[in-house]
Amino acid sequence: MRDWRGADVISIRDLGREEIEQVLARAAEIEPDPDLLRGKIMASLFFEPSTRTQLSFASAMERLGGRVIGFSGVGGTSIQKGESLHDTVKMAERYADIIVIRHPLEGSARFAADVASVPVINAGDGANQHPSQTLLDLFTIKRFCGRLDGLHIGMVGDLKYGRTVHSLASALTNFEGIKLRLISPPSLRMPPKILEEELRGRVAFEEIQDLDLADLDVVYMTRIQGERFPDVEEYERVKGAYVLDLEACRQLKPEAIILHPLPRVGEIDPEVDRLPQAKYFEQAANGVPVRMALLSLIFLGR
Ligand code: CP
């Protein structure tokens, strides 16, 4: 078992199967404990909007007895006056024992980890990575499907800019017998670099455009990431590309599960919420135990 003490969590690619399973096992057993991280402070630096990641990290830290400082949006901070990311991180490391950062630039979390003297967790860097989301996605899949091997998983929507699908696809290369059905408009395909350098030869994948959900164990819906499109007209062309409604769900196996990292902005009809396959709110709730597990491992080692 890895000793996690002081580890940065920047890319899911940095974790192997054993380490992923160590986090999931810890998340399955961890209970709130007001003494575990007493006296520790987390700096929550959110340069981009967030509901789930920010609140569940804060909830996780507080349930373990720690405290949270930070900002949500740069308004009110000295970044408005031109302070650099480097200097912001060098301040946060002096005020806190760990940094959780979300930033629109790919590579920003790695940069923060390189300059910080305290551990850094990437809470999403542009279209690149969102490793703690992937850990909670895997935790949810394991809980409902009972396994992480031999799964047929459909990823639907914005596979070009969606960092959650990039991270999840990379993580799935650690498991056996995975089949991926990548469903997107042609302009929003999974980046060729991920397809060729990570998936090819490790998982079986197909790329299609139709919302074909037959035979899937997991349907992973995603939002079209309007904020990352350089061309607004292209966003307008594809924004309603997929809507999972009751009619589309008739294709699902009874034991299939529907996930979505959320927020959703129209790609899952609220009527779907009452189906037994709809697990996206439980998925979001799992962010708390998974992030409690990560924090406890980073502070305590095991
Ligand atoms: N899944 C996720 O990252 O949601 P937030 O943007 O609300 O944090």
CA gap 128, 131 in Å, rounded: 10
Please write the tens of the pLDDT for every residue from 31-43. Answer: 999 999 999 999 9
Ligand 1 atom with minimal separation from the 124 CA? 3
185 phi, psi to nearest 5 deg: -65, 155
147 and 236 both lie in a single domain: yes
| Mean pLDDT (whole number) for 107-123 | 98
- Please say if 88 is a catalytic residue: no
In a domain, 235, yes or no: yes
22 and 106 both lie in a single domain: yes
In a domain, 47, yes or no: yes
Share of the chain above pLDDT 90, in %: 94
Count of the separate structural domains present in the chain: 2
Share of the chain above pLDDT 70, in %: 100
146 and 291 both lie in a single domain: no
Ligand 1 pocket mutation pick from 46, 48, 51 by most atoms within 8 angstroms of CB: 51
107 and 53 both lie in a single domain: yes
Kindly report the average pLDDT of the chain as a whole number.
97
Buried b (16+ CB within 10 A) or exposed e, 86-108: eebbeebbeebbbbbbbbeeeeb
Which DSSP symbol is given to 97?
S
254 and 121 both lie in a single domain: no
Residue that wins the pLDDT comparison between 302 and 91? 91
CA gap 166, 184 in Å, rounded: 14
66 and 117 both lie in a single domain: yes
pLDDT at 302: 79
- Please say if 102 is a catalytic residue: yes
- And the tokens for 2? 């890895």
pLDDT at 243: 97
| Mean pLDDT (whole number) for 111-119 | 98
Q: Whose CA is nearest to atom 5 of ligand 1?
A: 50
Q: Which of 26, 40, 63, 130 is catalytic?
A: 130
- And the tokens for 233? 């007209």
Residue 49 CA to ligand 1 center (angstroms) comes to 8
Please write the tens of the pLDDT for every residue from 33-92. Answer: 999 999 999 999 999 999 999 999 999 999 999 999 999 999 999 999 999 999 999 999
| Mean pLDDT (whole number) for 215-239 | 92
Look at residue 282 and tell me whether its pLDDT is greater than 90: yes
Ligand 1 atom with minimal separation from the 56 CA? 8
48 and 191 both lie in a single domain: no
Residue 50 CA to ligand 1 center (angstroms) comes to 5
178 and 256 both lie in a single domain: yes
Please write the tens of the pLDDT for every residue from 4-13. Answer: 999 999 999 9
187 and 161 both lie in a single domain: yes
Residue span of the structural domain in which 81 resides: 12-130+286-300
In a domain, 7, yes or no: no
pLDDT at 2: 87
264 and 137 both lie in a single domain: yes
In a domain, 6, yes or no: no
Residue 201 CA to ligand 1 center (angstroms) comes to 31
In a domain, 200, yes or no: yes
Strands 98-103 and 120-125: parallel
144 and 103 both lie in a single domain: no
Residues with CB under 6 A from ligand 1: 50-54, 124, 133, 261-263
The sheet carrying 98-103 orders its strands as 67-72, 41-46, 98-103, 120-125
Which CATH number does the domain housing residue 164 bear? Answer: 3.40.50.1370
49 and 23 both lie in a single domain: yes
In a domain, 124, yes or no: yes
Residue 284 CA to ligand 1 center (angstroms) comes to 9
pLDDT at 231: 87
| Mean pLDDT (whole number) for 263-276 | 97
Q: Whose CA is nearest to atom 6 of ligand 1?
A: 50
Please write the tens of the pLDDT for every residue from 138-190. Answer: 999 999 999 999 999 999 999 999 999 999 999 999 999 999 999 999 999 99
284 phi, psi to nearest 5 deg: -65, -40
Q: Which amino acid is at 296?
A: S
In a domain, 5, yes or no: no
